[in-house]
Amino acid sequence: MSATRSIALSLVAGAIAVTTACKKQETPATDTTTPAAVAPAPDSAAKAAAPAAPAINDAQIAHIAVTANAIDSAAGELAKKKGTSKAVKDFAKTMVTDHAGVNKQAVALATKLNVTPEDNDTSKQLKAGGDANIANLQGLTGAAFDKAYIDHEVEYHQAVLDALDKTLIPNAQNADLKALLVKVRPAFASHLEMAKGIQSSGAAATAK
Amino acid sequence: MAIALGCFAGAVAACSRPVPRSHTVTIQNFAFVPAELTVAAGDTVVWSNKDIVPHSATARDAAWDSKPIDANAAWRGVAPARGRHDYYCVLHPNMKATLVVR
Q: Is B91 on the interface with A (CB under 8 A)?
A: yes
Mean pLDDT of A51-59: 72
The predicted pLDDT at position A16 comes to: 46
Q: Which residues of B touch A98 (CB under 8 A)?
A: 53, 91
Q: Which residues of B touch A189 (CB under 8 A)?
A: 30
pLDDT of residue A136: 98
pTM of the model: 0.78
B54/A193 Cβ within 8 A: no
Indicate the residue of A102, A189, A194 with minimum beta-carbon distance to B53: A102
The verdict on A140 touching B (C-beta cutoff 8 Å) is no
A56-205: CATH superfamily:
Ferritin, core subunit, four-helix bundle (1.20.1260.10)
Closest chain B residue to the Cα of A197, Cα to Cα: B94
List C-alpha distances in Å: B14 to B2, B6, B7, B10, B27.
16, 12, 9, 11, 40
Q: For testing the chain A interface, which of B72, B92, B96 should be mutated: the one with the most A CBs within 10 Å?
A: B92
Count residue pairs from A and B with Cβ separation < 8 A: 36
- pLDDT tens string A166-177: 999 999 999 999
Q: How far apart are CA A184 and CA A29, in angstroms?
A: 33
Find the residue in A nearest to B56 (Cα): A94
Task: Return d(Cα A164, Cα A189) in angstroms, integer.
Answer: 11
| Beta carbons of A98 and B30 less than 8 Å apart | no
Per-residue pLDDT of A189-200, as tens digits, reads 999 999 999 999
Domains and CATH numbers, chain B: 20-101 (2.60.40.420)
pLDDT at A28: 41
